[in-house]
Structures are given as C-alpha cells and as structure tokens.
Structure 1
Amino acid sequence: MRVDDTLPGPGMADAAIRTTCPYCGVGCGVLATPDGKGGALIAGDPAHPANRGRLCSKGSALGETLGLGSRVLHPLMRNEAGGYDRVSWDIALDAVADGLKAIIAREGPEAVAFYLSGQLLTEDYYVANKLMKGFIGSPHVDTNSRLCMSSTVAGHKRVFGSDTVPGNYEDLDCADLIVLVGSNTAWCHPVLFRRIQQNRNERGARVVVIDPRVTATAEDCDLVLPLKPGSDSVLFAGLLVHLTEAGLIDQTYLERHTSGFDATLENARAIAPDLASIALRTGLNANDIAAFYALWAGTPAVVTAWSQGVNQSAQGTDKVAAILHCHLATGRIGRPGGGPFSLTGQPNAMGGREVGGLANMLAAHMGYTPVEIDRVRRFWNAPNMARSEGLKAVQMLDAVAEKRIRALWVMATNPAVSLPDADKVSAALNGLDLFIVSENVLSNDTLAAKPHIILPAAAWGEKDGTVTNSERRISRQRGFLPLPGEVKPDWWIICEVARRLGFGAAFGFRNGSEIYAEHAALSAFENEGSRDFDIGAHAGLSKHAYDRLKPVQWPVPIGQPQGTERLFADGGFFTPDRRAKLSTLAIPELAAARSDAFPLLLNTGRVRDHWHTMTRTGLSPRLSAHIGEPCIFVHPADAARFGLAEGGFARIANAHGAVILKVSLDPGAQPGSLFAPIHWSGETASHARIGAAVQPACDPYSGQPELKATPSSIAPVAYASQGFVLSRGTFALPAGSWWAKLAVEGGEGRLFATDATLDDLMAAVRDAFGTADLIEMIDRDSGVYRCAVTQGGRLTAALFVGPAGRAPLWDTVKLAFADPQSVPENRLALLAGRRLDGAADPGPTVCACFGVGLNAIRAAFTGGGTVTPEDIGRQLKAGTNCGSCLPEIRRIGASARETVAA
C-alpha cells in the first residue's frame, strides 16, 4: 500500500492518506484509503507517535460513518412556515452578514457571540476568533471545550503562568508509577491505556486509580481509591503534607523555580491535618491512603494523569492545582517518566486553546492584559479589538436567555444536548433574533431549536488542516474525500462572512496553509521566549511543506523545527518572574448539596464505544452493539433501597429536569451516586437527554460546569411491555413509549418499552406496512406479539414485543435484517427467534473492534485449554486491537471459572 502525506489528487486513488482521528484528545494517526465510492478503508498509522498503529473501537469504525444519508449538503434558510428552503451560498452568507450588521448597529458588538467546538480544526478556530475578537469587537467566543478541559487551563495558568502540558505520551511508557485521577482511561482513552498496561506488564510499573466509580480502568491496577465525589483536593493536599513531613521535598527546585510554597503548605495542613481527617473527608480507608502516599513518595518516576472527573467540577481548578503542587514540590516535572498530565477530551481542544477559543483568552495563549490586547491588535491590524474577557459557555447561554446576546453562531457542536440545564438552553436558542448553525448533519437537538440559517460544513474525511493532541503534538488532518454537494470548510464560510462585513483584506486566505502560517507568525510575534506557545518555525511554511507536515510537539520556535518534548525540568515558567506560583485552595463540602428530596449525586460521562452526542458514532452498527440503550448505573444497595430492578426503568429527577433510563446494576458505583452516559439526545432516545438533568453550577475560576455531582432523586418506572422494532425507514411507536434508536445494518433499530396494547401496536404495524407482506404471531394470553414484513424476499421490518421483564432478544433478528439473502420461507423460524443459518448465537457484543460476542468468549473460556485473556485474543481476536474490552473479558473469564468450580 502506498502512503502519501498530501491531499488526494489525480493518480492517487490507491494511496492511503495520512490523517488524524476526530475523536478524543489522544490524536491517533489514521491511514485512510478512499474506495472511490465515498467511503474509505481505515487503519491506524504505525508511523504516528501518538498511537503507533493502534486505533480504538471508535477509530476503527470511522469508515462506517462516512455516508451522506444524514448530511446537510446545501445552505438552508428558515421560511415563514417554519420549514427550510434551499438557497445559494451568496444568499445565505449575505443573510448572515446583514443580520449581524443590523444587530451590531442596534445593540452593539457584544450582542453577538460564537459558540465553537473542539471538532473544529485550528485554522477554522483561528479565523473565527480573529473575526469576532479583532474585527467585530465582541469577546463572546467560547467553545464546548469549556465543558471539557477549562479547569485544567485555569489550573495551569494559575500555577505555571501558561496553559502548558509539561510532558508527553512517552512518559507513560517509562514511568514507574502512573496515577489516574477521575479518568476511565480504559474506555475514554483506550490507546493510551494500552500503553500504560504494556508498561505495567513489561516493566512492572504500578498503576493507581482514583475515582468515585470503580470503572473498567480500575479492574486492572494495583490500588483503587474510590474517594467521595469532590474530595480529590483533600487527598492531594494530604499528599503534599506527607511529602514534606517525609523529607521528600526538593528544596533546591522550590527555591530556584517556585514561589508561595510556605503558604500553600500551611493551607494544605489546614485542609488535611492528619490521616484520620483525610480518611473522613475522602471516605477512604486510612491504610489505603497511607499506601498511596508511600507509593507516590517512594517512586521518583511518577505520572499523575487526570481527565473529566477532575475538570468537570465546581472545584476543578483547585483539584488541578493540588496535583501540580505535589509535582512541583518534589521537582517531578518535565523529566522522562515524571510529571502532571492532562488527558484531553476532544481532538482539537488544545488547538482551540492555542488560538484563543476560550472567552477568557486571546490568540497564541495571550490574555486580556493591555499589553497583550495591543500586541494582538497591532499584529492583526484589528479595528475593533475586544477589550475584556467574554462570557463563558454557561454564562453565554444565560445571556441568550436574558436577551443580552441577540445573535449566536454555533459551529460543529450540539449545545442543546451537551450544556447543563439543557431544557433552558433549548428555550433560549428559540428566542434568538439571529441563530446560525454551521453543521454537517441534517438533524440534531440544536437544529430542532430552528436556527434561521443552516450552513453546510465539511466533515471529517473532507476537512483539511491541523489539530493538537493532549501532548502538545500538532498533526495534520487531511481530506481524502471530495466536498459533497455545496459543502464548504468552516474557515471558508467564516472568511466569506468577514468579507461581507467589510473585513475582506484581513481574511483573504486562499487555503488552510495560509491561515496556519499567520497563526504561527502571531505565536512568535514579540515573543522571544516570554510565552509558551511559539510555533514560529512554521510561519514560513509553503503549502507544499504544510501538506507534508509531520507530527510535532510545540513549542516549535524559529531554529527548533523538531519541536520540544518536555518543559519545566529546569524551571522557566511563563510568569513575570519565571517562577511557578503555588497557591492556596478552597474546599467546599460537596456532600452538603444532598437533601431528603434529592439524596443521590448524579455523575455523567462517556461509555466505551460512543462519542459526544452520537452524530457520528451513532451511524455505526457495531458501535451500538456493546451498550445499545441509555442506562442509569446504580449500586445494588441503592437499587434495593429505591425499589429498582436490573433491566427495569427509573426516573432520575432534580430541580433542573428529569430523564427515564434503563437500570443497570453496577457494584462499581458508589452507594449514594448514580452514573448516566451523556450520548443520547432527543434525536436518539425519547427520555434520555441527560443534560436536562444536570445543574449549571460552575467552577468560579474556570467557568467549567459541575457535570459529576448533581443532587437528584430516583424512582422506578413501570411499562407494560418491552420489545424492539427494525425497519428500513422510520417507524412511529405509539405515543408515550420509551425508546432508544440505534444503527443496525440495513436500516434503523429501536429498543422500546410501552403501555400501549397489543392492538395498538398491531394497528401501528399495519398502518405503516400494510398486510400483504406481513406475517404475525399473536399470543394474547401471554402478551406476546411478533411480526415480520418481507418484500422481494428480503426482511424489511420486524417488531417483537412481550411482557415487561421478558423482553425478547434481538440479536438473531438483527442478523436476518442485515442479510439480503433471507427468504420468505424462513419467516416462521425468524418469529420463533432462531438463527436462520443454524449457527450458534454469539450473544451481546463484547469486542466491538472484531464483533466478538459474550457467548463466544464464554464458550472459549469453558471449552478447555483457554485460561487467559491472551488465549482469547489468539483464538477469537477479541481484545487484540485497542484493548478496551479486556477488563470485561477478564470478568467473563472469572465468572466462567467460578461456574466450572461450582
């Protein structure tokens, strides 16, 4: 296979294009080979240093998400009837520009705002920030990264003076201790978790997991600390005290490179005076705390890595600072195998931070001091430079609700699902004078709020630019598919609007390489080592060199084109005195938020095989196979307390909203806490938009909302029957039904529960499909109804329903639905629930990468000779790609051994 770093062109149909995965912040390299039919063969890039050829289940399935069936392909404008008319680009862009002009003239520039996304490329982000903050004159540009990593940004800036990740992924390979805080790495960053496990298995590295939930990550480690929600800062303040009392402080490093240690230590002693106090406040066993402190203290090569469990918190900035203090106090920073490490959530969250995508930042990691404002103004020759920080995401939507912001342009994100207090967000969006959305899908919850203008933006596979991953590594995301319909890149759309606003001279970019070059030049402008972000070596890149740009870690200053692996081993922080500033922490009592009405804390996060609001992963049948329904994960003790049953339903409610989710008993959940996935929306489920039940409380420094601990109640919900429906098109279930939609081969599937009668369901089927090609099985006494519709020898629809608690399995019917060779004479066997080919049922999917089911793995464990997950991998391939299913495979093996022993 030929690999080419350039864009597809004549004679390159057989070439694999090097690009970058659009999912998490790992930033994996991808080899994409276009198939000439609008799709591509996807493989990991063995030459990319982030993943070395590995991909997780989501990355491996990227080829299944490239179809155009759900795409918006032309500019659309809302008409008076509330529908949409297709219009030309000129009409749409003129309407955007004229609408912005009118609102700015009437209300001033701060009445307009942009809400951006870590799904944008750096070049898109750059021109959006330049237009709004430098030329329109509004500071109100924020991003969904506010929900992801902004507490880390604030913590880094507070302590380091800059938003700098000191280390890199190689530190995970050579560390002797890796501490994972608030990070289900096995599911959310599986390629990195595989590297961690390889280090553990080959070098003997120790792994500690600190998380209120005992997740898949915690199932393969040396020590688990399931602390109380919100108590991370107490644990790390206690660690700082322990390190000091054990004589392990690096006094030379502190004296040369930091300030504020004495006050910080005094504050830490007030927060965590002794082991008994720490145990009480964290809920941990004192012996386990002591073991953790001894392990951290006695292991010089230690990496402390964290993710959303730290960031998505009303105390997120303090949590980050508490971790940084321990590394600075011991000089364990910037050295191989040692340092604090933020695991970013989105593919270009860091790139957005570089260009000022957060409301409290200007471009090139500059802030809103008078000197920095003037520097950016002069570089851009900007006529209307914003002079103060803008509104952060939650504040921004509050301002929309209060009519202080009258125009909002949303790009590449779905705030009606992802923001907290999501019902309020949807209502606010409906009230805008001008609501613009740049999007690549025809339908999502934000589009349901009826924007005035929808602009068709390029999707992954078509976009061309750069992204920056968690280790500061800039990589090229290259287009390998042509732009379909009238789709355009985001940067082009923004520049065209800028031209219509009268700023064409500053936005005359012909391609992404010219934007990147300007971005690089600004990073070096009047820098001379005073700012961390400097990629001045790229300011003179030609388009040819840009197209062939290899992954590189910033800083990349002039004269250092190879980049920088690590920072701060010898100090050199980006504060006025070049010293890191240790600071005091405030630790509120989170538990006080519970009440008799809302006795539980609702935690939200990701599941293994889905991403954000599923507008991409929801198109892949195999990614829906592992967890197909929106669930609430509940400790068995809480389930018994509140009358919940495995597989039943529960209503989770609080002061902000309510959802109804399937109950999943989870011994790893902490009693008193609930966990719900973030992925389902109004588009993909009837009652599962979890953002509607999340509080809008925010960290006072970062503005990041608390998505991990909303006081809530839970109560059982009963439905008369449960089932599933498969159809080539959309099928409308009776009103009031609970349902979850998921992709299946050949069409659409819905798992549902309902109080509708069998007659109601039969009537809905016959109205939708007629009776000519319908075969039914009806058992009124048992409450069972099954039907199949065939046309031309192919199964086109099926509906199975039975009493609640006895929902029929649908794996065999899915297989028949996906098989174009299924024939009418097999319908009776199908209605009986038997596989048409006589093969054994593989059971629910465990390994999404290779489609290996539970029954196949269980049989391999009990069949003799197979005793380890590695044996399973050799026999079935399960767990040999990203490894995110390995914890589950180990559980299956343990259960199988217990069964045999019994």
Structure 2
Amino acid sequence: MNAHAPSPTVRTICPYCGVGCGVLVTPDGAGGAAVAGDPGHPANAGRLCVKGAALGETLATGGRLLHPTIHGVRSTWNRALDAVADGFRRTLETHGPEAVALYLSGQLLTEDYYVANKLMKGFLGSANVDTNSRLCMASSVAGHRRAFGSDTVPGCYEDLDEADLIVLVGSNAAWCHPVLFQRMEKARGRGARLVVVDPRRTVTAEGADLHLALAPGTDSVLFARLLVEIVERGALDRDFVARHTAGLDEALAAARAIAPDAASAAARCGLEGEALVAFLDWWIGTPRVVTCFSQGVNQSAQGTDKVNAILNAHLATGRIGRPGCGPFSLTGQPNAMGGREVGGLANQLAAHMGFSPEEVERVGRFWQAPRMARHEGRKAVAMFEAVERGEIRALWILSTNPAVSLPRADAMRAALKRLDFLAVSDISAHADGILDAATVVLPAAAWGEKDGTVTNSERRISRQRPFRPPPGEARPDWWQLAEVARRLGHGEAFAYAGPAAVFREHAALSAFENEGRRAFDIGGLAELTDEAYDRLEPVQWPLRRGEAEGRRRLFAEGGFTHADGRARFVAIAVPALAAMPSPDYPLLLNTGRVRDHWHTMTRTGLSPRLARHRGAPFLEVHPADAARFGLVDGGFAAVRSPHGEVQLKVVVTEGQRPGSLFAPIHWTDATAGRARVGALVHAITDPVSGQPDSKAVPVAVRPCAVAAQGYIVSRRRLSLPAWLGHARMAVAGGEAVTFASVRDPAALHALLSNWLGLEAAPLVRSDRRAGTHRSASLSGGRLDMLLATAPESDEAALDRAIALLGEERIDLATRRYLLAGRGPAGDRSAGPLVCACFGVHRAAIEAAVGDGASNVEAVGARLRAGTNCGSCRPEIRRLIEAMGIPAA
C-alpha cells in the first residue's frame, strides 16, 4: 500500500470566526491537504473567505509543541499530568478553591469546554473559569441575558438574505465576516440598503449606502434617539410590547434624557443632522431590518448598554424572530457560543444556568458533584489582577495567550511568573510570554486533529472532525482535563470513552429539569450513538427531545426566558468615555483585526499567501493628526499609554477619524519586535459584562527616527536581537523579515551580519554612495539567506528576494544579480497582495485598470481578483477610484 496515498475527503468546520463555515478537506497522505468550501453546509453553501481557503498552507508542524515538559525539560505524559494534579491539589489544600483558576479559549471545542467547567465548578469548588471570549463577546451575552433572560441569538443567517435594511454597528464585516458580507451584498443586489455605524471609514463603510462615522463611545446615543423616534412617530408595536415585554416606560425616559431631540443626538454623535435623519427614516420605515453588531459595540466600557440600546429598538417594533428582521450578534471566535453553552464564563454554570441556589443544586445533582461552586468566579481581567496580587496561586491556561491578548499585557506577562504553579496547554512552541513562565507545558491537538463540536453565531452546532493524527505526543484538551480529574480522585465522573460521550452528557444536562424554562435545550441529541455523533449534520438549537430539527428563529411570539416570559427593555446609563484624552495622552487608540490574519497569527502566520496583504504591524492616522504630531506616511511612530509602548509603521488615511488612531492586534513577539498592541490597552471593563474597553484607549504618539530599513529572507526561522524593530512573515521556502533601525545602514548591516553568522558570507556587495549593503549565502545551489540594509525600504528588491528564496536552484546567470536587488531587466514592486485568494498584487490590478478594466467586475474577469470570497472588492474599487476612474 502507498504510504502517501490520498485519504478520503473529510467534512469539518473552519477554525476561524463565528460564521462557522463548512469545509471539505482532502489529505494528500504526506501531511498536507486540499481545502474547499462545503456546498452542503448551510452556513456558507460552499463559500470560503481567504483565511479558510488558505487553511491547507497552515498545516506545517515545524513550530508545534510535541512533548510534555516540566520546568522546560521533556517529560512523559504521566509525570506531566501528575505534576498538574499535584500543583492544583497543593494549592487547594493550602489556599482553598478561590486560589485556583482555568483560563480557556473560543478555539476550544464544546467538549473541551464542558470537561473544564465540570471539573472546576463541580469538583474543585471554584468558578474561576473564564475565557478569551470575555474579550470579544461578553457584552453581547450580558445584553441578551438582561433583555431576553438568556444568552440567545434570536435570528439566523437567512435573515440577511431577506432583509431590506442591514445595519452594521462596530463591524468591519467585509474583512472580519466576509462570507456573511457576501450575503449582505447579494441582498443589496435586489435592493436592500446597507448602513455602517463605525468611527472608521473601513472597507465595509466605503461601499455602504450610508456611513455614520460617529464619535467613539456614542453608539448608545444613536440608538437611544431611535427608540424615542419609534415612539414619537407611532411606529411602536403596541400589541407585541403589551403582550411580551416589560420596562418600556423606564427605558424610554432614559433614552429621552440621553437624546431628547435629533439635533442634540447628532451633535453628541458628531454626525451631520441629515445623515442621522436618513438613518432614522430608513430604520423606522423598513419593516425588515437586521441590526448586526460586533466588537466595536462589545469592546467598550458601556458595551452591554450599547447592546441593550439596539435590542430596545427591535423589541419596541416587534422586529425580532421574524424573517428578515432582528438583532444579530456577529461572533468573533469559532466556538465562543459553544463555550457559553457549557458555562465557559465565570458568571455562568453549564447549560445556560446561573448561580442561583436552585440552579447550583440542579447542576450539582446532575453531575453528582461533591464540591459545587456556589457563586460567580472572577472574570478574565479580574482573574489576572488576582494573579498579580497573589490571590490566585495555581492557573491552567488552555489554547490562548493572555500575555499577548489581555489588557496591560506587559503587566500580565510579569504576573504569570509570580504564580506558584502554571500549566499551559497549547500547540505553538512560539507562544511568547507564557511558555517561559510555565511549570508544566502540555502539547495540545490542533485543528485537523481535534474531534468534537462547535456552535456558530446562528446557534448552529457542527462537527469538527479530524483528518490527521496529532504530531508527536500532542493530545486533545478534554483528555488532558479528564486525566487530571482522575488523578485528583474523580475518575468515575470523568471516565469518558471519547468526545461523543462528553457531548451526550452535555446534551442531557441541557434538557435536565428544563421543561421550556431555558432556551438552550439540545435534549434531542442526548442519546446519539457514537456512529450517529460521527455523522451528525449541522443543526440549530433548541432541539428538544422528540423534535426532528432545531428552530431557526425565536421570540416572534414571545417565549422569553425571564420567569414571567417577558423580555425586558433596559434603561441605559448616560454614555461617556471611560477614559478621556488628556494633555499627556491626547489621542484615542482603537484596536482591531485586518483581513487576512487571525488573533495572534499562530495559524495564519504560517501561510505565505496570507502574509503579504499586511506584512507588518501599522498605525492608521488621520492627516490632521499626522501633521499635528509630525508623522509621515510610511514612517514610524512610537505609541505610548500608561501601560506600555509599541513602535509601528504609519499609514496616513482619511478613513481614520481625527483624534483617533487604529492599530491591529495580531503581532506578538513571535512575529514582530515591539508591536504587541495589548501592552497599551487599559484594564477598564464594562461593569456588567466585565469585557475590556479596547476601542478608546488614551495614548500619546511621536515620530521615530529611522536611519536604515531592510529585510532578511531565510530558509530557517531566525533568532533576532531584542533591540531590532521588525516583522516576520511566512514565504515560500522560509520566512522574510523586514526591519527598521536608528543605526545607519552600514553599521546595521555589520551588526546583523555578525548576529546571523553572515560576516564571512561568500556573497557581499556594498554601494556606499547609495547606502545599500547586501550579503547572501547559498547552500547546495539554493539561496539560504540574504540580508539587505539601505536608507529606505525597497519593496521591489524584497519581492525579488522572496521569489529567489522559493527557487529550487539559483543558476549562474541569476547569481550575478543576486545582490543587485533587481533582475536583468530591472524589477518593479508588485505591491501589497490585494486578492489573496488568487495571488493578485496591486501592480497587476493597476495595470489591468490602465488597460481598460474600469470597474471591479472587469478586473475580476481579467485577473479573477474579487471573484471568490469578495473581501478584496472594496480595495479594488478604491484602487480604481485612486486612478481617477469614477466608481461604476
């Protein structure tokens, strides 16, 4: 039998955002795989965004954790798991259950999450279990619970197809949820309107019918005014309000105090009055309206109030649970919702239950738990502040890196080293800031190796199936947790034969003593056999016992899960920024994502295709602020808050609101130097949800002097000096590093040559008049490493060096030009990668436009750019307009 024979195609789920796209994976038998969209999955019907389409490029195991370690020394699983159990046992005996904690991730499968919560909340007596979903979705959870009585998204993706008005609030969906954005664009093709509410003019906002570039923190002012207008214009659904809700009078009084008239609301939001009136007219006058909200709403000190302001408007008009209308939370992570279903947040128990005495007793009876937690635990930011104070002494981190993603990231990194015991379960050997602080490191299974379920933004449960074995000794997270539970004396309660057994118990708990009181109920799946679990098709909840399929929409006829069955209007507080600009910190920093990367790039950073769209961390600045602070486009800036400082490349853009800056969250010490934006973010949180405010952080900015820039291309991962400001990206054959320095090009080249072992390189060339210096080494006729320094960056030379690194052999003719930075006929930079799906760079699009391709469709017909996931279409449109061709 051929050891490398291709394997059968496996149906599984994309591991990125909460859209939950189905993918078809066909392994090649040699460690790689072809990845395509699953036409049979209802979430995406075969579509994939560029991140999903590039999953096959992220399967390399070179940077994986492969073996357990104790204090950095390779160990066996038995010894490592014993050490974890001993670390927690000692802490519990000495300091009690409040001194232990778990920190989880929306990347975990539901089965992993379930076992973690059962162990801590039922058997160790601590509710100190929280998740990085606290950083992205907690305000939506809190808003849903306040309004509906449960964390329930009432609609489904089909509502986007049927809506006549789609409002995106704090959502750059064209980049962050591209598959859903395609559905929105298709709806616009039949006449639906799109409104974007966002301080930034994102690529999503550029193509909208109306962009409301409101002042940071004023979303709830806008929706408070909408509630008032609904009532004053007679658009209130009096029957729905009377039969199914409570609290309108109080909520309306609060809204009137915040936004007594349209003029004052427009002034507070920093909007033109005509734009505000157009929004109010469209929203009120369009029965089928879906209001989608995401991180721009959630990541705020008033995030929960913002969510409830949106929900108030939909409750007032009865536009909920009906085709083409409703509020819709666009989830950030692939299993943020699945984690919430099993109590992944510190203020929840499993199956959407809380910490009332009745619910604690019910869950305890079901689990036969000896030591139930009786009250809420610490939420993420508070949890790590307790670590900082020494109140939490033992911690287990699974599938996330708080030393990068939490607010005050530098302080959190230092706090981890104060723990008596730290266990880390991860896949990456480059998870900076946590591995060096860990007592025990456990290698975890990754996407493609994990077996279980996830739940997407529309309450749809799907199977994530493995298509290859874990490398080395990596193991699933649920198994690691169950093995520690066994060592702590709870083996009978955690004797799961596999993930199907965990899922059956989870489903049974959802139906236990439910009787319709909790919206989350998947009792219809509680008796799945292992074979039926393997075959499980995507299904929405609720799916109660005896039902054949789940429900697409909820609450059109009431049925809310407050005790009286009524939804609650919520009187929101007067909105205000949590921290105001000051003379020392005069600007507000907004953080977020870019199109082709995901979180801290442990997966997307492995893809050469994804690396080239945004190859280095950057700072977006409005031209007025650039002039005010002496910043230039393409230069560098230091951004400082009371908690840290980073250095980023400057992008001057009219799309940035004056007084505000934007920086992406993705780069860590593993992928860049001095660019961890989490170090800047303050620890201010929403008082209800506990979610950090990372969209309006007061900062100062100043220009950084740069005397030299350059690049390195290398076949191996390089160790670089800490003083070098740099960014790494994966390329075919190895990696490319770009850098900038205050040192002059000659001195910098000498320092780096010595650091990299290139001081005796066989190929060296310097042009002192131009200030350029290059060194290269070859091995077996292939380029092994090339270092170049110069006064300015040279994109064309970098493009050529990357291409040469991918060559199997450098012939003699090419070798003559190896250090020239150009080919025989000279080179022009291809520019940034615009369409990553088909590898189309900016220069190719500009050439096509110059040759008569005058609109996005014509460019697509010629180059295929924009014809797959569509997330690059706004950028193509912008390039066409920049060349002086009017938008079609």
Q: After TM superposition, is the score higher than 0.5?
A: yes
**Residue 282 of structure 1 is aligned with which of 269, 281, 285?**
269
User: Are 1:720 and 2:707 matched, yes or no?
Assistant: yes
Q: Any conservation in 2 of the 1:858–1:892 contact (CA below 8 Å)?
A: yes
Higher mean C-alpha deviation, range 851-860 or range 783-792: 783-792
Q: CA–CA distance in 2 between the matches of 1:153 and 1:404? A: 27
Shift of 1:895: 2.0
Give the secondary structure class of the aligned counterpart of 1:408: strand
Pick from 405, 409, 412: which aligns with 1:425? 412
Q: Which residue of 2 aligns with 1:775?
A: 763
Decide which of 52, 55, 73 is 1:62's aligned counterpart.
Answer: 55
For 1:43-192, what aligned pairs fall within 5 Å after superposition?
43-78=36-71, 84-192=72-180
Paired residue for 1:858? 846
Which whole-Å deviations, capped at 9, do the CAs of 1:812-844 have from their partners, x for residues lacking one?
211111111322431332333334798875432
Letter in 1 for 2:425: S
| Structure 1 position 584 matched with structure 2 position 584 | no
- Contact conserved, 2:5 with 2:28, CA < 8 A, in 1? no
User: What are the within-5 Å matches in structure 2 for residues 395-544 of structure 1?
Assistant: 395-544=382-531
Is residue 315–residue 587 contact of structure 1 (8 Å, CA) maintained in 2? no
SS at match of 2:816: helix
Matched, 1:789 2:782: no
Partner of 1:679: 666
Residue identity matched to 2:422: F
Q: Tell me what 2:597 maps to.
A: 610
C-alpha contact (below 8 Å) 1:421/1:656 kept by paired residues: yes
TM-score by length of 1: 0.96
Alpha carbons of structure 1 residues 50 and 10: separation in structure 2 relative to 1, 3 Å: farther
Contact in 1 for aligned 2:854/2:885 (Cα 8 Å): no
Cα pair 1:605 1:677 within 8 Å, conserved = yes
The alpha carbon displacement at 1:94 in A equals 0.6
Asked if 1 retains the 8 angstrom alpha-carbon contact of 2:594 and 2:664, the reply is yes
C-alpha deviation, 1:807, in angstroms? 7.0
Correspondence 1:205 to 2:198:
no
TM-fit CA distance, 1:437? 0.3
What code does the residue aligned with 1:65 have?
T
Give the deviation of 1:719 after TM superposition.
Answer: 1.5
Q: Within 5 Å, which residues of 2 pair with 1:31-42?
A: 31-42=24-35
Give deviations 1:144-164, integer Å, cap 9, x for gaps. 000010000000000100000
Distance 1:691 1:772 in 2: 40
1:706 alignment partner in structure 2: 693
Q: Which amino acid aligns with 1:31?
A: L
The one-letter code matched in structure 2 to 1:171 is D
Match of 1:692 in 2: 679
- 1:735–1:774 distance in 2 versus 1, CA, 3 Å: farther
Matched, 1:311 2:298: yes
Q: 1:666 to 1:180 in 2, by over 3 A?
A: same
Q: Does 1:843 align with 2:836?
A: no
RMSD after superposition: 1.8
Residues 255-270 of structure 1: pairs in structure 2 closer than 5 A:
255-270=242-257
Partner deviation per Cα, 1:92-137 (whole Å, 9 max, x = no partner): 0111111111110000011100000000000000000000000001
Residue in structure 2 matching 1:325, options 312, 320, 339 = 312
Q: Secondary structure in 2 aligned to 1:25?
A: coil
Structure 1 residues 266 and 606: CA distance shift in structure 2, 3 A: same
The Cα shift of 1:777 comes to 2.0
Cα pair 2:7 2:26 within 8 Å, conserved: yes
Q: How high is the sequence identity, in percent, across the aligned residues?
A: 59
User: In the alignment, what sits opposite 1:374?
Assistant: 361
The answer to whether the aligner puts 1:23 opposite 2:16 as a matched pair is: yes
Question: Is residue 734–residue 760 contact of structure 1 (8 Å, CA) maintained in 2?
Answer: no
* Structure-1 separation of matches of 2:721 and 2:766: 18
- Aligned residue pairs total 886
Tell me: CA distance 1:869–1:760, structure 2 relative to 1, closer, same or farther (3 Å). closer
- Over 3 Å counting, the alpha-carbon distance change for 1:767 and 1:258 in structure 2 is closer
Give the match's secondary structure for 1:674: strand
Letter in 2 for 1:28: C
Q: Which amino acid aligns with 1:847?
A: C
> 3-state DSSP class of the match of 1:726?
strand
How far, CA to CA, are the matches of 1:824 and 1:518 in structure 2?
66
1:623 aligned partner:
610
Confirm or deny that 1:250 pairs with 2:233: no
Q: 1:837 to 1:25 in 2, by over 3 A?
A: farther
Choose the corresponding residue for 1:819, options 807, 813, 825: 807
Change (3 A) 1:386 1:870: same
Q: Is the 8 A contact 1:647 1:805 kept in 2?
A: no
Instruction: Quote how far apart the aligned CAs of 1:449 are.
Output: 4.0
**1:582-617 CA distances to partner (integer Å, 9 max, x unpaired)?**
121112322861111111000000000000001111
How far apart, in 1, do the equivalents of 2:748 and 2:737 lie? 17
Give the 3-state SS of the residue equivalent to 1:67 in structure 2. Answer: coil
How far apart, CA to CA, are the structure 1 residues paired with 2:61 and 2:795? Answer: 34
Q: Is the 8 A contact 1:862 1:897 kept in 2?
A: no
Which amino acid is 2:714 matched to? S
Matches of 1:258 and 1:862 in 2, distance apart?
59
Q: Does 1:562 align with 2:553?
A: no
Between the aligned partners of 2:183 and 2:288, the Cα distance in structure 1 is: 16
Alignment partner of 2:875 out of 870, 888, 896 = 888
How much does 1:768 deviate? 3.3
| Alignment correspondent of 1:3 | none
What secondary structure sits across from 2:817 in the alignment? helix
Structure 1 residues 760-817: Cα deviation after superposition (integer angstroms, max 9, x where no partner): 4235325634566532221223321122222221111111211146676411211111
Residue number among 634, 637, 662 corresponding to 2:649 in the alignment? 662
Q: Distance in 2 between matches of 1:728 and 1:482?
A: 27
Partners of 1:862 and 1:900 within 8 A in 2: no
CA distance in 2, matches of 1:433, 1:183: 41
Letter in 2 for 1:411: L
Q: Select between 595-604 and 888-897 the one with higher mean Cα deviation.
A: 888-897
Rounded Cα–Cα distance in structure 2 between residues aligned with 1:348 and 1:298: 36
User: What amino acid is aligned across from residue 733 of structure 2 in structure 1?
Assistant: G
Q: Distance in 2 between matches of 1:772 and 1:656?
A: 42
CA distance in 2, matches of 1:181, 1:720: 42
**Could you list the runs of 5+ residues in structure 2 that have no partner in the other structure?**
none
SS of match in other structure, 1:118 = coil
What amino acid does structure 1 have at the position aligned with 2:846? R
**Structure 2 SS opposite 1:447:** coil
The 3 A distance-change label for structure 1 pair 900 and 340 is closer
- Residue of structure 2 equivalent to 1:643: 630
CA contact (8 A) 2:4 2:29 kept: no
Distance 1:458 1:591 in 2: 40
SS in 2 for 1:590: coil
Q: Is the 8 A contact 1:464 1:512 kept in 2?
A: yes
* Residue type at the aligned position of 1:503: H
Cα distance between partner residues in 1 of 2:511 and 2:886: 64
Change in Cα spacing, 1:210 to 1:167, as seen in structure 2 (3 Å) is same
Aligned equivalents of 1:840 and 1:70: distance in 2?
34
User: Aligned pair in 2 of structure 1 residues 640, 850: CA closer, same or farther (>3 Å)?
Assistant: same
Tell me the secondary structure at the aligned position of residue 695 of structure 1. Answer: coil
More displaced, 316-325 or 652-661? 652-661
Flag structure 1 segments of 5+ consecutive residues without an equivalent.
1-8, 79-83
